[in-house]
Amino acid sequence: MVEARRGLGRGLSALLQDTEGPLSPERRAELGVFEAPIERLRPNPDQPRKRYDAAQLEELAQSIRERGILQPLLVRPHPTDQGDYQIVAGERRWRAAQLALLATAPVISRQLSALETMEIALIENLQRADLDPLEEGRAYQAIMRDFGRSAEEIGSAVGRSRSHVANSVRLLRLPAAVQDYVIAGRLTAGHARALLDREDAVDIAERVVREGLSVRKTEALAQRPQNGVKAKPRQAVKDADTEALEHDLSEMLGMQVDIQDRQGAGVLQVRYATLEQLDDLCRRLSTRPGRMI
């Protein structure tokens, strides 16, 4: 299953690349490109990218007025409205085409599942660096929540490492004020990760922005005690791979799993809520000797 989705990312990369000029008639026929009325194209409500810069859209609209839409939009038949199409990749071009007052847009229609649609939209935005770190994290979280995918599976599908996916999702734990700095581009993902699990994250973020501190200086600042009072030793922050493994095992067992790793040795705890869960765990461990769960 993972291999199939990894192939999706590779195979789609050529389709999503920007073209140097208009497609030849032969290439259009090969891809199945056709002109669709602008009003029959509908945006995807689960599109990872939520913000579009008005000035950049107008700049693209002017280019479209002069040269047309060079790269077809990727669409799928709308899941509920017959005769309409849902945009899988290319919403920015669709928005600019409306500003340019185009009546139609070139599209390629494919039968795609909801999961494939989300993955392809992610691939397109990641290739163009269009997402801020939090938009990226929310997209990963939605795929985990709605489709039960692990960080490793998502990473394989969109060309990212498991640790990158897990770290992106962790950023969603930050206070709203810190997230706003990230969205505005005043803090990088590296700055934000240093502030995870800090009660004074907002205060540190404000100082980092005010003084223009580097990620390294932010990490050092986040290790200091608060208000001059010696802080209690902080629990070691788990790396992204450990957190992803905990998530995978918890999903597999249906129980809370906690891993405490110390340089390759440690403790794995499985918490059960009922005796039935304990019985189920014992059965899993005893019925297939020699095999991992």
Rg (C-alpha) for the chain, rounded Å, is 23
For 79-94, the DSSP string reads: SSSTT-EEEEE-HHHH
- CB atoms under 10 Å from CB of 35, counted, come to 13
Torsion of Cα atoms, 95 then 126 then 145 then 113, to 10°: 60
Report residue 196 as tokens: 């995870």
Alpha-carbon distance 167 to 186, whole Å? 19
The DSSP bridge partners found for residue 108 are 74
Q: Which residues does 251 contact at the CB level (< 8 Å), separation at least 6?
A: 148, 150
Distances from the Cα of 195 to the Cα of 46, 178, 202, 288, angstroms: 28, 9, 8, 43
199 counts as catalytic? no
Distances from the Cα of 293 to the Cα of 2, 248, 255, 283, angstroms: 18, 12, 13, 11
Letter for the amino acid at 219?
E
| Catalytic, out of 59, 91, 206, 219 | 91
Helix (H) or strand (E) holding 74: strand 73-77
Question: Which residues are catalytically annotated?
Answer: 91
